[in-house]
Structure 1
């Protein structure tokens, strides 16, 4: 154990010990006995600082043509997805394709216009009509 090991913050993991995204650490809580947790997955429940656990999903992007439950990029720019607490409209970023993921880190470069002109103005609605999760 090194001198600085005592200063390290212990990161939260799923039951399979996979680490999750650091930018979500204060926005998630443990799921007890998650169903179908695969060895490569990280599962946590969303929770706002005010305790909200029901959300609408706002996004920039489009629904994938074959698998309608997926939000994907447009021809103009990558997707951007927010969770919005239904009790107080507190929103926080879940995913930004210009920042997160393999392509953003290693492959693609985006223009200022692509990064800034992606208004998350669509509300995700499931195939059975639910828009609060």
Structure 2
């Protein structure tokens, strides 16, 4: 992405606030805290996928990519955090996925402490140079400024840059103060 402030994924716009980072945020990293419509910052997570066989706190896909939805504990508002078939560089420009019947998020996440209510921090990483002619993306932009995606949809170039991140992470902090990484997906 071009220099300046990273705007982050469009599907999360209006659902996040800046987070005070204990660790330095990389220049190519968008990091924000999830916040519900009423300002609540506590959520339950439900997902479609499974736990990683070795790193059991991580959620991964099965026959299709993982889906993670946050549910506001006060209002029950649902916010789609990540769907590997829709979000990230690979979903936009690589593999396409037929919508399988098992894609609806159904299992609620519990961390190693047995907790199920969390503050949520989201990170998207942007290390793909879409403006580099070698990648060819600019050559594929039509006269209306739209880029053709693998699945046949067309998306404004600026939107494709925001949604075509190459890594996505979800970290949760339970009410006891323990932070656990739930999603860490390489997407390019």
Provide TM-score, normalisation by structure 1: 0.77
Higher relative contact order (Cα pairs below 8 Å, separated by 6+ residues):
2
Q: Hey, which bits of structure 1, 4+ residues long, moved more than 2 A?
A: 16-19
* Secondary structure, aligned partner of 2:55: coil
More strand per residue: 2
Contact 2:48 2:105 in 1 (8 A): yes
Alpha-carbon displacement from aligned partner over 1:54-75 (angstroms, at most 9, x marks no partner): 000110001111112211110x
1:124 aligned residue: 109
Provide TM-score, normalisation by structure 2: 0.56
Shift of 1:127: 0.9
Contact 1:37 1:43 in 2 (8 A): no
2:160 aligned residue: none
The root-mean-square deviation of aligned C-alpha atoms, in Å, is 1.7
Structure 1 gap ranges (5+)? 1-15
Alpha-carbon displacement from aligned partner over 1:83-122 (angstroms, at most 9, x marks no partner): 100112111100111101122112212124x2x5412111
Shift of 1:30: 1.3
Superposition pairs of residues 1-133 of structure 1, within 5 angstroms = 17-32=5-20, 34-39=21-26, 40-74=28-62, 76-112=63-99, 114=100, 116-133=101-118
